[in-house]
Structure formats: C-alpha cells, structure tokens
Amino acid sequence: MIIRCPYCGPRDVIEFTYQGDATRRRPDPASSDQDAWNSYIYDRTNPGGSHREFWLHGGGCRQHLVITRDMTTHAISSVAFARSIVAGESS
Amino acid sequence: MAEPRSPLGKAFVAGDHGNHAAGIGVTLRERKNLSIIQITAWADSIPAVLTAIGSATGLVLQNKPGLGRVAGEKSVFGFAPGRYFVVSATPDLETRLRSAISAELGTMVDLTHGRTVIRIGGPRSEWVISKLFAIDFSEHAFPVAYGRATLHHDIHTNIQRIDDETFDLYVFRTFARSFWLTLGHAAEEVGYRVE
Amino acid sequence: MTSSRLSKGGRIDRSRSIRFLFDGKAYSGHPGDTLASALLANGITLFGRSFKYHRPRGVFAAGSDEPNALVTVLSGDVREPNVRATELEIFDGLVTRSQNRFPSLEHDFLAVNQLAGPLFSAGFYYKTFMGPAIGPLRGTRFWMFCEKFIRRAAGLGKAGTSPDPERYERMNAFCDILVVGSGPGGLIAAEAAAATGARVIIAEERPLAGGSLLASGEMIDGRNPAVWAREKAEALASLPNVRFLTRTSVWGYYDGNVLTAVEHVSDYKPNRTKGLARQRHWVIRTGRVILATGAFERPMVFPGNDRPGVMLADAMRRYAIEYGVATGSAVTLFTNNDSAYDAARALSIGGVNVVAIVDVRPDISGTCRDIASVAGAELLLGHAVTATHAGKTLSSITVQHFNAETGRVSGAPREIRTDSLGVSGGWSPAIHLASQAGGKPEWDEDLQAFLPPEPNQNWVMTGSAAGYMDTISVMSDAATKGSAKSRLVLPAVEAPMLDSSPAPVFEIEPAIKSQKAFVDFQHDVTADDIRLAYREGFHSVEHLKRYTTLGMATDQGKTSNVPGLAIMADVRGISIPQAGTTRFRPPFTPVSLGALAAERHGDLRPHRLTPMHDWHLANGAKTYEAGLWHRPMIYSSHGETIEQAYTREAKAVRDSVGIVDVSTLGKIDIQGPDAAEFLDRVYTNMFSTLPVGKARYGLMLREDGIAFDDGTTWRLGETQFLMTTTTANAGPVMQHLEYYLDCVWPELRVHLTSVTDVWAGSAVSGPKARAVLEGCVTGTKVDNDTLPFMGIVRGKIADVPVMICRLSFSGELAYEVYCGAGYGVHIWEALLAAGKPFAILPYGLEALGTLRIEKGHVTGAEIDGRTTAHDLHLDWMLSKKKPFIGSAMVHREGLKNENRLSLVGLISLDNQSINGGSHIVTDPRPREPADSFGHVTAACYSPALGKYIALALVKHGTSMIGNRAFATDLLRDKHCAVEIVSHHMFDAEGSRMHG
Ligand SMILES: [Zn+2]
C-alpha cells in the first residue's frame, strides 16, 4: 500500500503508523461524563467502505495525517494534515 | 577543547573495498565538524523563518516541500512542514541563527551531536542507496539540493541531494555505525572507496 | 529411452560443454540448457517420484508451470529443494539431486504406496487422523504414531539445515510503466510505452526475451522470430528510460501498484564476483502495469496421463526449437485444439518425427490437415487417448473413438507405439497477477478459459494473457496498451491461420479405468479424488481445493486449476463459471526466504550504540540487548559470576561511588509558549509550576487511566523543557505526544524534537558523588545550595560544556551529567579520573536494577500496560487541580478495586534466589497455576540487605505485608519461601539521596 503524504509524496505504508479512528471527538477534558469517555476510548464502529483514520508519518515528516480509506478495497480517497483538519473542525 | 569522537569507530576503514577491481562505484566519507541546527517555524511564520535563514546563511529558500539549497559546505533543506536543517562548517552558525529566529517565528534545536552525516558520491550511488531506501532517487523526482526524510528499517535518515550523483545521509548518531556497515555491505557489489 | 539431442537447432552454444551432476552421475550439456533440457538430451526421462504415490514422473512442462521435475540443488552443505529443472540453468559444477525417492530414483521403496491407492485418496488425513480414536487405526494418537513414516513418504524436497552463506539483497524501484513479460505483447507494449518518454521497467522471467517467439515456427518481418525478439529487446534495453530485467519473476501484486519480483542475479554462475547478490528482491512501485504474462498450456486428463514421456505439446516444441532436443524418436500429439498442429509444424521443421495426432474433435480445418500431412503424421480425428503403457518409459498409448458431444469413449482400443506424447487441452491465460490485484476472473466460452478481471488498480493486460492467441492480434493490442496514441509500425507476421477455440473437453473417462487420471501432478490429485470430494459434500471450489489439496502445491495449480474446476462443474451439473474459481495469491512462483530477508539475516536489527560503547567493551563489559540498544550488563572481573559482579558494583555505589551510562534514556526537546501547559495536560502532576533550572519526576497515563511511562522533565527555560523517558518507551512517548499535538490540541504552540542521540549521559551515584564532581567540574559550584536535589546547573568538565541534574534512581546522592554525544567518552573518562580517589566503579544494568529494586522504584516491568498509579503507589502524583490524559478514567471503580495486583517487596526466607516471573502462591508445590495471587516482576541479590529480594505485583498487596508466601516457578521447578514486605526495602525515608 502507498500513502501520498501531502509533504513527502507517495511512500510505502511501512513508513506510517495507524493511529486510530479519526471520527471520534475527545470529550471536554474536565468532563466527568463516564459514558462519553467510555465511548471515546472504547467504541469503534469498524465500518465497511469509507472510513476516516489518523496515520502518523513516523518514517518521514512525522506529521499525523487524516486519511479517508475504503476499508474493503484499501483505496485512499483523501489525505490531509491532521493539524489543519482538527483545527478547522474545532474552530 | 577535545575533538568530538565519531561514532563510526573501527568500522571506518579508509581505502578501497568490495569489488573494486572493476572500478570504484561509490565513495563514502563522513562529513565532520559541521553544525547541524534544526529550525521549526510556527505554521503562520514559515515565510518569515525562511527569510531569517536566508539572512543568517545567505541561502534563500522558497516555501515548498523538500526544497533546499547547497553552497559549498553550507546547506539548508526542508524535510517536514516548517522544519529545516541548516548545516554549516562555521562554528558561529547557531549564534547567528539564534539572533535571526525569534521565539515568535519558531524554535531551534542544535542537533550537531545527534546526527552523523555520511556523504555518498559516485556513478553508482543511486543504485546503492536504492537498496536501502524506498524513495525515488531519480533526478526528476528528487532534484539537486532537495531534502527528504525517510527510513531504512528502524533507522530514520534525512537525505539531501548534493549533485546528480552525490547525497548526504543524516543518520541518528547511535545508529550510525550499524548503518555505515549496512551501507558498505550494499556497496561491495560496485566497489567502494572510503575517504 | 529415446529422448536425445537433435543434430541441429536450439539456442544453445554447442561449441562449449558444461559438466554437472544429477543423482551423483556426471552429465554434460551446453550453455543455454536448463537442467531439464540437458537431461532430456542425455536420454533421461525419469526426474522424480510423486508426492503421495511415489509414481515415477518425468518432465511435463518447459517453464515455471512445471509440476513434476523438481530437484534439490546442493552447494556445499547448503541445499535448496524444489527447484524446477525446467528453469534451472546449468553451469559447470552444478550438483542436483532428485527428490522424494528412497533409496534411489529407479528403485523406489515407497512406490508400494500406489497399491494402497484408496488409502491416500482425498481427505485421507482428515478422515484418518483427526478427532478421537474410533477403532485402532484412527484418530490423533494414530497420527502421532504414523507421522514420522508419512512425513518421509509424502512431500517434496527436504529443506536444508545449514545456514545459507549467499548474499541476497533488496532493490527499490520506481517507474511509470512496468511491463511484465517480454513475449511479442510485452515487447511491443514496452516499445510503445517507452516511445512516450515514460520510465519503463520490463521484467522477463526467462534468461532471454521473446516468450512464445522463442519457439515459434512463424516469420516476423521475414526473419526468425527469436532473432527479431532479441534485437527488439536489445534496442529497448539501450534506451535511457528503459530498464530491462531478465531472469526476473514478478511474483506479487499489492495495493497501490506495488509489485515484487525476484531477479536471479548470479545463481546460474559458477563463480561470482565479490559483493554480487545471488538473488535480488525487487520492490517496484509503478504508475501503470502492463501484464503481458502469456498463457499456460493445459493438460488433458486421461488414464495414465502422468507417465514419464507424457508432456505438454508446447513443452515438446520448446525443447526441440529452443534447446535442440527431441523428447522422443516417435512422437504423438493428443489435443482438443489447433495449437497442437502449430507445435507439430514446428516439431517437424525442427527434425522431430511426429507419427500421429489424436484429436477429440470430429473435424478440423484444412490448415490443420495440411500441417499433419506435411509433418507425415497420421490423423486420428474423433479419438482420444484412454491409456498409456510403459516399461521404464512410455512405449505406447491406447486410442479409442471419442464423442466430443457426449464425452463417451467407444470402439475397439488401438495401440500406437510412441515414446513421447504431447498433450494440449487448450490454453489458460496467466491471470495470476491480475487475480492477486483483486477482481473475479471472467470465463470466456470461446477460449474455454478464465480471462483477467476488470481492473481495480491501474493495470492492463495484453497478449495471450488477455486472450489474444495469435501473434498479429497480440501485437496490435499490445501497441495500444503500451500507449493509446501509439504510432508504432507493426512488423509483418507470417503464420498459419489457426483457430484459438478448443473443444470443451477436459477429461477422457472410459467406462473401464485401469489407470489413474491425474489433475494435479504435484499434489497427486486425481479426477476420482475430485468426484469423491463431491460425494462427501465438498462442493464449493474453496472447499474442494482444501479437501483435495488441488492447486495448493508449489506450482499453485498452474496446469491443474481449470481441469479441476471443469471436472467439479461436470459432477455438479453446472457450468465452469458457475462453479467459480479461487483467487490466486502471491507468490506466483516460489520465492526463497533468503530473497525476502535480503540484507536482514543473522542479526535482524540494527545495533544502537551509546557514545561510550567502545569504552565499555574495552573495559570488560558484558553487554545485552535492550530493544535495539546494546548496554553493559556487568563489567566482569576474572572468575566472577554475574551475581558476584553486580553485587560488587552495587555495593560500590552504596559504599562510595559508581558511574553508569544512561545515554539510552529517551530525551525529547519540548519548546514553545504553550510547552508548560502541554506538560500539565500530558503528565498527571503539575509542570507549569516548575521553576527554570529544576527538574521534576513525572508520570504519564494512557487515556484509559493505565500507567504509561515515567521520567524526569527538566525546565531549561521559560518555554523550553527537556523530557526524559524510559529507554524502552522513548519512541512510544514521542508518538503519544505528537498525537495529542496534531490530533487533539492543534491550537497549542509546541514543538517536539527527539534529542536522545544528541546527549551522552553519565550518572554518578553514591555518597562520594559530589566529591567526584567537585574534583572535575568548573564554571559552577555543585554544593547543596547551588545544586540541590532536582536542581540543574551548567558548567564544564575537561573544558567541555556539560549540564548536570541532581537526581537519583539508585536512592543515593546522584547526578546525571549530560554532554554533547561526541564528547561522551571524554566526559566519562574525566569523571572516572575524578572518581579514582574514591575507587569509583562503572556499573551495568544488573547493578542498576539491583539498586532500584532495593528502593522499590518502578520500571517497565511494573508499568506493564496493566497497572495503575494506585497499583504502583504513585497515586500521590495524580493532580486534583487539573485534568490530564487519563484523569477522567483513572478513578473508575474497577481500577481501584482492592482485588487488583499492587506493588510489594519480597524477601527470600530460605536464602535462595527468587526467579523473575515466579508466581506468588500459598502452597509450596501448587498443582494448578490458578492458585497464583501475584507474580515477581524483578529479583536480585541485595548487597545492602544481604538477602535475596524481589519486587512483585500481588493481590491485596499492601494488606498482605508481613505475610509469608511462596514464589514458585513451575517451569524451572524453583520454589522459594518469601515474606511480603513494603516495596521500599532500603532507606525508606530517602535520607541518603538528600544528603
Ligand atoms: Zn510525510
């Protein structure tokens, strides 16, 4: 599998580390809502088809990426820096 | 002050090695006494940091992934968003950069002791390093002066292309001897000279 | 015994001879020969014994599809089994041996297996050896009894046991277009692609380019097709944008257009230059793939079809045209399609005597009739071969009337004398790589074959692999596949007009069968095995494959796949596409483990060495691996045991002073205006309150509240910190911090850099530690006021700048001295010199461990991914003033349950050492491990206490203190009476390090 890092260009998947589901949102740090934390930490939907995930380009620019990947074909439809995506969504 | 010690130790053996009867395919050497400064710009100050690097070193860069410049012993290249290596044999490099890069622009880390710089040159250098790194070394994919960050198994490496057949490999110091031996092994086929 | 070298022909160099050994006997061949062609030229037709029945087998194909002629290649003590004789190029001194025979190929003791035929039929292993014993000769116990015998009897070559001294290497390649195969399709496609300026790699599995052209009777541009191919290949190879790889088999097709190939760089050479690899493992990333992989001829399934002397018609042609070898003196052909006539034509041009052509079809074209008559071969239309006969090799075949519509055999048998029978059951496009890349192959009624699926990656197929069965249409398709805008002028091809559509006949099944009809030669699967599998309920192709092992041998069913499916479809009364096919998986051809390992053999991992590594070795250090690091375990003196050595070293630290290399600790530079805020979030305790020039011990949790890592973090400036992590967790902690900055708190202005390699660290510990520093540090004082506990100063040692932090892992007065890694040895030696008056000793990890066990400090053995801060008595570090990673989950009821394991100390009561990993039990000799209520995480002899001690995680830990128990190691049968004590076993008040 090849991932096209927006900085480094196409690289082998071995340079990357899967860092989990990118659709979940961390609860307010001060929140004591156990259900919310529980779902953040443990619940994963594992959908067939398109999915958003974090990958760390640890073997390259060391940036986290948000990758949209088809879980059945491994086809990657979009790659972007996690920082800009997360910052964009929380602002 | 004492001379810093090379991590290559006894693994560094000057002379010709491998299948050198048919010629020397690559030449390997360790670049010593360099200052290696890593500069990281805040996301909103990359152009300002590039200007500051330019004023401190005379090497002017545009904001484009992997772009770099080489002038003699001096070089600069990017290998991650807003992150650059500035390398020079002049000892006052850090001071000059520190006065140019304020905390508002970004941060600096002196990695001089943390990296070992191996220069590989010669007609077969692309062939030899292609055994170790899964990146495209052809000149149109990796132009002269550009930088890359990649790895050989567990060994992170920053690579800058110096000219069509010369590359500087920046490896983590504690891995340097292991990497040097691997590189020499890979170069035996084409014959190599250690300088 | 009548295969022989023809007087002319073949692309072998008859002017030179090569000597090689097969089963201990010397033979000679010529450059250009494979082992198969050279042995055939020497009249050898028996190559091996079959997998289950030990039937004599000859060579069946001429390439990578060979199921029978597998040999073992010997080179000194190294043996490589299961090498296809049809691909093995001979060289002077080559030593080969046939396989699966005992004691010899001619007289095989285990050929009696044939008499026990039904015993070894489909599902034999499952039925006989699985499950409980019902009757005496059944069940798993019976398997254990039979295993040795069966393992000897069944199987292929034996794997070697000696280390392989050969060199293998990996090569990474990038291109715009990869062309797999260099037959007429591959060459034309590559030429068209290269003309666009694209970077092209062509991979050809054989030594020469040309594919089918190498054995074709056609003319191209009025010339020999093989010559045309050679010149075309040379022209392509000379282009700057083309890399032409021969002897390179592309065996895997992975996601993202990544393909893997093995190049046989030098294994066909008797003498190799220094540094040259035997095989090179290519990993090719390409924009587009053109699969010009050709097609495999299929056998017909009929009784006696595995007899030596029976082979594929195309193989027979290739031996004649490519190697100048006649496979027999009176050759017959048996076919259901026209391609056998093309073979007959080439054979007779090459000087081989074709006596008869048996064709299942009642009628054939005029072209075919003409070929048969020119070749002088008798035509037997509407006939089939129903048996074969032999002494040592094939002597005759039985032919009967055959109705292709009904599949019925009738009429009187007629015997035809022949010593070599070529069979053709049609052609199967080599769609293996396309199938690996995904997608379901599609059945083509006309070709009676599976064609490549719709691409779901960027590839196209051309040539016979795409179903084009004549050279003219192959070339015109290939040109457009190479480049849609191709303007290549295609060469003129002179070839007979043949029909590519075979009769849909796969098996000849006479009413009375006296001989087995094989489908999968390599795994000895017969047509009857498939029918048996069906009767026993294994209907889907996936089940059929696993139950009968059809297509699961090293040839991956290249010859057997379609005939097997056809027979299954027939018994089920459905069509072949309804029966479906299995997906091909890598590798296309067997790949040696050496090639996959490439440069990674022996020592699999790089060695990570501290700046002082050479000093350690020169001064008696025995090292061991800690992750990738090599670290001193002890510095041994003569005749000392490990325990004596570390006891001596640890005692020196408690009594006077010691020095240890701590350069391996993970070190992360953390800078930015939000650095302090960031640390408050990732550590359980406060860091924003830490003054500049001071360090603090910190604990990190995972998000779920489990302890993650600990270490000290030093505040070097208002906005700059140096974090240290445990050696093992340096990478994971960095990743953890990066994750939160990138994915959770992108608003924080913080930069992280690993500086582990920048600093060499030497920890000086013991009551005399300060005196040592006073003796060598300049530019700063190191007294208790200037450098209090957890204080940091900068100064110089031996003229080199250092940073000194006073912190203690040993529980003694101690300092960590950091300097630029290049000066590591310099500073280390300066500290040793300054420590000489105090008899300073370097100490290794064993002593380091002993000191920390005495103190009850935790490491990765206790922070094991299951323990919490409470379990480790670190709950005092959980700030209540701020949220931190894990703060929401750490107070969950389950994580505070009294039943959890918590940290305690153990003291051996019987003066015996305690084994690490021992279980804590109440019964000295428990029968069941279930009695365990804890385990030992670390153990040592404590010189400070004069006892064997340990740290352990024990249920109800704290309330167990004062109780007695046993530490029991069932594996090593070691049982030790212990007292459970506080984990603070030495200097619980910590007065020594504050001194
Ligand atoms: Zn990257």
Q: What three-state secondary structure class fits B31?
A: strand
Number of structural domains (chain B) is: 2
Whole-number Å distance between alpha carbons of C953 and C867: 9
Token pair 């041996």 is at which residue? Answer: C97
Provide the residue ranges of all domains of chain C, joining segments of one domain with +: 168-298+426-503, 608-664+758-853, 666-754, 898-994
The domain boundary, picked from B110, B136, B159, lies at B110
Q: What residues of chain A lie within 8 A of the CB of B137, using their CB?
A: none
How close, in Å, is residue A7 to chain B by CA atoms?
6
Separation CA C2–CA C5 (nearest Å): 10
Task: Extract the tokens encoding B54.
Answer: 């330019």
Shared domain for B98 and B146, answered yes or no, is no
Q: Which two tokens stand for residue C954?
A: 């024990």
CA distance B11 to B176: 10
Judge whether residue C467 has pLDDT over 70: yes
User: Helices (H), strands (E): how many in chain C?
Assistant: 24, 52
Report the Cα–Cα distance between both ends of chain B, in Å, rounded. Answer: 25
Give the mean model confidence (pLDDT) for residues A15-40: 94
Backbone angle region of C806, left / alpha / beta, with phi > 0 → left and psi within -120 to 50 → alpha: beta
Asked if the C-beta of B12 comes within 8 angstroms of chain C's C-beta atoms, the answer is no
> Of the residues B110, B136, B165, which one is the last residue of a structural domain?
B110
Nearest in space to C83 (alpha carbons), one of C96, C101, C102, C100:
C96
Least confident of B176-190, C602-616, C755-769: C602-616
State yes or no: pLDDT of C139 exceeds 70.
Answer: no
| Residue showing tokens 């259900």 | A35
Arithmetic mean of pLDDT over chain C:
92
- Would you say residue B2 lies in a domain? no
Q: Residues C407-431: pLDDT tens digits? A: 999 999 999 999 999 999 999 999 9
Q: Which chains touch B (3 or more CB pairs under 8 A)?
A: A, C
Cα-based angle C158, C521, C153 (whole degrees, multiple of 5):
40
**What one-character DSSP code corresponds to residue C740?**
I
CA C796 to CA C789: how far, in whole Å?
20
Half-sphere exposure of C218 (CA within 13 A, CB side): 24
Query: Mean pLDDT over residues B108-131, rounded?
Result: 98
In C, residues 415-444, which contact A (CB 8 Å cutoff)? 438
Q: How far, in Å, from the CA of B99 to the mean position of ligand 1?
A: 30
Same domain, yes or no: B63 and B126: no
Minimal C-alpha gap between C670 and chain B (Å): 10
> The domain C898-994: what is its CATH number?
2.40.30.110
Sort out which chain A residues have CB atoms less than 8 A from C738's CB and list them: 56, 62, 64
Domain C608-664+758-853, CATH among 3.50.50.60, 3.30.1360.120, 3.40.50.10950, 3.60.21.10: 3.30.1360.120
Q: Which domain holds residue B169?
A: 9-32+114-194
Ligand 1: centre distance to CA B185 (Å): 28
Instruction: Give the 3-state secondary structure percentages of chain C, helix then strand then coil, rounded to 5.
Output: 25, 30, 45
How long is chain A?
Answer: 91
* Alpha helix segments (H runs only) across C560-662: 561-572, 576-579, 593-597, 613-618, 642-655
CA of A8 to the centre of ligand 1 (A): 4
pLDDT in tens, C823-863: 999 999 999 999 999 999 999 999 999 999 999 999 999 99
Confidence category of residue C1, pLDDT binned at 50, 70, 90: very low
Residue in C173, C798, C821 nearest the CB of B113: C821
> What whole-number percentage of chain C has pLDDT above 90?
79
Looking at the structure of chain A, the number of domains it has is: 1
φ, ψ (nearest 5 deg) of residue C648: -60, -45
Q: Identify which of C255, C258, C742 has the shortest CB distance to residue A83.
A: C742
DSSP state letters, B70-89? EETTEEEEEEETTEEEEEES
When mean pLDDT is compared across A41-55, B134-148, C589-603, the lowest value belongs to C589-603
Q: How buried is C691 (Cβ within 10 angstroms: 0-12 exposed, 13-18 middle, 19+ buried)?
A: exposed
Nearest-neighbour CA in chain A from C745: distance (Å): 8
Asked if residue C553 lies in contact with residue C564, where contact means CB atoms within 8 angstroms, the answer is no
A63: which chain C residues are within 8 Å (Cβ-Cβ)?
742
Does the pLDDT at position C154 exceed 60? Answer: no
Q: CB distance B172–C757 less than 8 Å?
A: yes
pLDDT at C113 over 70: no
pLDDT number for residue C158: 83
Is the CB of residue C286 less than 8 Å from the CB of residue C174? yes
Separation CA C175–CA B136 (nearest Å): 9
Task: Kindly report, residue by residue over C647-685, the tens digit of the pLDDT.
Answer: 999 999 999 999 999 999 999 999 999 999 999 999 999
Which residues of C276-340 form beta strands (DSSP E)? 279-291, 295-297, 310-312, 325-326, 331-335
User: Does residue C214 or residue A91 have the better pLDDT?
Assistant: C214
| Whole-number pLDDT of residue C106 | 73
Contact check, Cβ <8 Å, C757/B113: yes
Helix (H) or strand (E) holding C72: strand C70-75
Minimal Cα–Cα distance from B159 to chain C, Å?
16
Going from the Cα of C251 to the center of ligand 1, the distance in angstroms, rounded, reads 29
Sign (positive or negative) of CA dihedral C803, C806, C809, C814: positive
Residues of A in contact with B148 (CB under 8 A): 8, 60
A60–chain B nearest CA distance, Å: 5
pLDDT digits 0-9 by tens, C179-209: 999 999 999 999 999 999 999 999 999 999 9
CATH for B124: 3.30.1360.120
In the stretch 86-125 of chain B, residues with CB closer than 8 A to chain A read none
Question: What is the structure's pLDDT at C114?
Answer: 62
> Within an 8 Å CB–CB cutoff, is residue B152 touching chain A?
no
Q: Does residue B142 lie within any of the structural domains?
A: yes
Whether residue C256 has pLDDT greater than 60: yes
Token pair for C360 = 């299942």
CA atoms lying within 13 Å on the CB side of residue C324: 15
Chain A residues touching B150 at Cβ < 8 A: 8, 11, 15, 59-60
The position carrying tokens 């059944």 is: C138
Interface check for B31 against chain C (CB to CB < 8 A): the answer is no
CB of C683 within 8 A of CB of C713? Answer: yes
C828: tokens are: 């280390």
| Nearest CA-CA distance, residue B17 and chain A, Å | 31
Whether C85 and C157 have beta carbons less than 8 Å apart is answered as no
SS3 C708: strand
pLDDT digits (tens, 9 = 90+) for C792-811: 999 999 999 999 999 999 99
d(CA A26, CA A8): 29
How many Cβ contacts (< 8 angstroms) between chains B and C? Answer: 133
pLDDT tens readout for residues C691-738: 999 999 999 999 999 999 999 999 999 999 999 999 999 999 999 999
Q: What residues in B contact C628, CB-CB < 8 Å?
A: 154, 175
> Band of the pLDDT at C78, cuts 50, 70, 90?
confident
Contact C253, C455 (CB under 8 A): no
Which chain C residues are Cβ-neighbours of A31 within 8 angstroms? 888
Structural domain span for residue A43: 2-26+34-90
Query: Residue B60 sits in a domain of what CATH number?
Result: 3.30.70.1520
Q: How far is B157 from chain A (nearest CA, A)?
A: 9
Cα of C250 vs centre of ligand 1, distance in Å, is 29
Alpha helix ranges (H) inside B79-161: 93-100, 125-130
Ligand 1 center to C760 CA (angstroms) = 29
The answer, for B67 touching chain A at a CB cutoff of 8 Å, is no
The answer to whether the CB atoms of C758 and B111 lie below 8 A apart is yes
- Cα gap C868→C858, rounded to integer Å: 12
| Res. C557 pLDDT band, cuts 50 70 90 | confident
Distance from CA of B52 to the nearest CA of A (A): 22
Lowest mean pLDDT, pick from C170-179, C521-530, C817-826: C521-530
Any idea what the CATH number is for the domain that residue A15 is in? 3.30.2270.10
The answer to whether C742 contacts A26, with C-beta atoms less than 8 Å apart, is no
Q: Which two tokens stand for residue C969?
A: 């190691």
Does C274 sit within 8 Å of B188, measured CB to CB? Answer: yes
Tokens of C322: 């490519």
One-letter amino acid for residue C430 of the chain: A
- Taking CB atoms within 8 Å and a gap of at least 24, the contacts of C466-471 are C466/C185, C466/C429, C467/C429, C468/C185, C469/C295, C469/C339, C469/C427, C469/C500, C470/C495, C470/C498, C470/C500, C471/C184, C471/C212, C471/C213, C471/C216, C471/C218, C471/C220, C471/C225, C471/C495
Residue of A2, A3, A7 to mutate, interface with B, max B Cβ within 10 Å: A7
Selection from B85-94, B129-138, C594-603 with the highest mean pLDDT: B129-138
Give the Cα-Cα-Cα angle C6, C10, C11 (nearest 5 degrees): 150
**Domain C168-298+426-503 in this protein, CATH class:** alpha beta
Chain A touched by B79 (CB under 8 Å): yes
Q: Is B3 inside a domain boundary?
A: no
Share of chain B above pLDDT 90, in %: 94
Q: Is B32 on the interface with A (CB under 8 A)?
A: no
ipTM of predicted complex? 0.98
Q: CA angle, corner A52, sides to A50 and A56, nearest 5?
A: 135
Closest alpha carbon within chain A to C752: A62
Of the residues B58, B77, B110, which one is the last residue of a structural domain? B110
Residue among A27, A41, A64 whose CB faces C738 most closely: A64
- Across the interface, whether the CB atoms of C285 and A2 are under 8 A apart is answered yes
Calculate Rg over the CA atoms of chain C.
38
Between chains, do C743 and A12 touch, taking CB under 8 Å as contact?
A: no
Superfamily grouping for domain C666-754: Aminomethyltransferase beta-barrel domains (3.30.70.1400)
Which contacts (CB < 8 Å, 24+ apart) does range C469-476 have?
C469/C295, C469/C339, C469/C427, C469/C500, C470/C495, C470/C498, C470/C500, C471/C184, C471/C212, C471/C213, C471/C216, C471/C218, C471/C220, C471/C225, C471/C495, C474/C183, C474/C184, C474/C185, C474/C188, C475/C184, C475/C185, C475/C188
Query: Cα separation of C190 and C980, whole Å?
Result: 76
> What is the per-residue pLDDT for C226?
95
Residue C118: is its pLDDT beyond 80?
A: no
CB contact under 8 A, C799 and B1: yes
User: What's the burial of C926, exposed, middle or buried (CB within 10 Å: 0-12/13-18/19+)?
Assistant: middle
Q: Are residues B80 and B119 in the same domain?
A: no
Phi, psi for C550 (deg, rounded to 5): -60, 125
Asked if A59 lies within 8 A of B156 by C-beta distance, the reply is yes
Residues in A 17-46 with any Cβ partner in C closer than 8 A: 17, 19, 22, 26-27, 29-32, 34, 37, 40-42
The predicted model scores a pTM of: 0.94
